[in-house]
Chain A
């Protein structure tokens, strides 16, 4: 096990190694893995953002996928109007990533602000239920948007355009996402170590004391909620481009549950935990059915999800430290 002190360096090394993934997979004729990897990176960003409020802030938000969905739909809707030559409330569509991405982040942050402002007036069980309920509301909102495909979702005719880069190329897109993930991991670490981060963690440990020393917790929790929402929105924008498709399924409440699993699987309240958890979760999702099929266990290969339930329960009950605890040890 490595000391957590070196976590940053280990992360950087792995990041640099991952730059070569496209070449390596091409050499083994498994180029499709780049697409899988991109998906993992995107969800890792969402998991990192959830970890900020969940792991460090102690806020059990069971509606985080809603903000990912909002970010995705911003990109999808803008792309739709660009293709149709129509406008959304007077605003023309666009494929320019310099517009779509910041807008996606901004609008998901706005949703997070409005919903967070309400949810954070409650705590404990109420809070969890209400985040779930509002996420469901957003799900129904987008299902009802017939113009944008409703239940079936919306296909994008092409990916966004980012300066000179050809985002249609899988490898290029992968590298872009990798860099964004690296930047996010760095950014969230800075936030956690900042004065704001201290308040967030203090509030998680002892909200009463925080108030008594003169800090009202609400504004900080809300700010954290908004930042987390923005991060999920960024992931959503990346996901929409990656899949060239957006659908309300992105924000189904079970996706929020998946995000929670990713965070806890990797190690809640740790720096790289969310990335580890996302990787394991999505790799299992992708390859468990294949594995069972290879083993000839046809029932399980079709119903591999049945393994997820009990596994999750076992981890929650007995292995709370997640993958992070397996790889790193605390310094003392």
Chain B
């Protein structure tokens, strides 16, 4: 059974059909990339998956459950974690505190008023581990807003990872990163492959081809093709959709 099933999703903003009969499925354990031209509706889809936007019509099933009946704040507990395209951290908290809060959210005991969080090993040790996984352990005690852009993007992923997700929704994790930063993230994603199911939205074709098991192409709010990276690269419809954009002409 697919881990994530999106069926005939529709979402309109006035005359714009951001999601137009969108259907997609993600199998457990796979790294599934979603590509498409700008404005295709990728972020709209992610927002509907994470619950911050309500679809006009359609169905989303996650691990067999009807996700649309689940409020946004409960979806993380089902195992759905997302990272944001535009960095969305807790800027005044340190990197460690950012991740610790996610772990605290997962543990669910937040109505505790007197015990100090500073001495809570059940939060800090797992948080440090997650930071190590993404390669940010050395910056653990730096305030998030003082981190370099690339480090902030790593923290973005760390927070989502800390939720021990069944499905990781990554919205352009490499947005705004240079070559080296992108390599770090690609490394990370390759390490996570198999252990965590991923739905990855990306423009960076090198990353997509390095990481993805399957690729879906989103154009004008609906998926026009799904297949292995090679299949997609050779698909004529996809090439037409990307006509003029250089990203599809990738080596190897």
- Is A147 located at the chain interface by the 8 A CB criterion? no
B81-92 vs A: 1/0 string, CB under 8 Å?
Answer: 110100011111
- Whether B113 pairs with A202 at a CB distance below 8 angstroms is no
A211-B73 contact given A195-B115, A195-B117, A198-B117, CB 8 Å threshold = yes
Report the minimal beta-carbon distance from A274 to chain B, rounded to whole angstroms: 19
- Is B234 located at the chain interface by the 8 A CB criterion? no
> Which residues of B have CB within 8 Å of A311?
none
Report the minimal beta-carbon distance from B115 to chain A, rounded to whole angstroms: 6
Report the minimal beta-carbon distance from A68 to chain B, rounded to whole angstroms: 22
> Which residues of A have CB within 8 Å of B75?
214
A208-B113 contact given A213-B163, A214-B74, A214-B75, CB 8 Å threshold = no
Within 8 A of A (CB), among B83-131: 84, 88-93, 97, 100-102, 104-106, 109-118, 120
> Which residues of B have CB within 8 Å of A194?
112-117
Within 8 A of B (CB), among A129-173: none
Q: Which residue of B lies closest to A217 (CB)?
A: B73
- Whether B116 pairs with A209 at a CB distance below 8 angstroms is no
- Is A196 located at the chain interface by the 8 A CB criterion? yes
- Whether A214 pairs with B77 at a CB distance below 8 angstroms is yes
Chain A binding site: helix, strand, loop or mixed by DSSP?
A: helix
- Whether B110 pairs with A206 at a CB distance below 8 angstroms is no
Report the minimal beta-carbon distance from B7 to chain A, rounded to whole angstroms: 23
- Is A329 located at the chain interface by the 8 A CB criterion? no
> Which residues of B have CB within 8 Å of A193?
116-118
- Whether B101 pairs with A196 at a CB distance below 8 angstroms is no
Contact of A216 among B73, B113, B120 (CB under 8 A): B73
Contact of A201 among B81, B92, B113, B159 (CB under 8 A): B92
Report the minimal beta-carbon distance from B155 to chain A, rounded to whole angstroms: 11
> Which residues of A have CB within 8 Å of B88?
206, 208-209, 212
> Which residues of B have CB within 8 Å of A210?
101, 105
> Which residues of B have CB within 8 Å of A119?
none
> Which residues of B have CB within 8 Å of A206?
88-91
A217 to B112, CA, bound (A): 15
- Whether A215 pairs with B90 at a CB distance below 8 angstroms is no
> Which residues of A have CB within 8 Å of B92?
201, 205
Contact of B90 among A202, A214, A223 (CB under 8 A): A202
Which of A195, A220, A223 has most B Cβ within 10 Å?
A: A195
Which of B82, B97, B113, B163 has most A Cβ within 10 Å?
A: B113
- Is A197 located at the chain interface by the 8 A CB criterion? yes
A195-B90 contact given A211-B52, A212-B52, A214-B77, CB 8 Å threshold = no
- Is A190 located at the chain interface by the 8 A CB criterion? yes
Report the minimal beta-carbon distance from B236 to chain A, rounded to whole angstroms: 38
A173-199 vs B: 1/0 string, CB under 8 Å?
Answer: 000000000000000001101111111
Report the minimal beta-carbon distance from A265 to chain B, rounded to whole angstroms: 21
Given contacts A201-B90, A214-B106, 4 further A-B contacts (CB under 8 A): A194-B113, A196-B112, A202-B90, A202-B93
Cβ contacts A to B, 17 pairs, < 8 Å: A194-B115, A195-B111, A198-B100, A201-B90, A201-B92, A202-B93, A205-B90, A205-B92, A208-B52, A209-B90, A213-B102, A213-B105, A213-B106, A214-B74, A214-B77, A214-B105, A215-B110
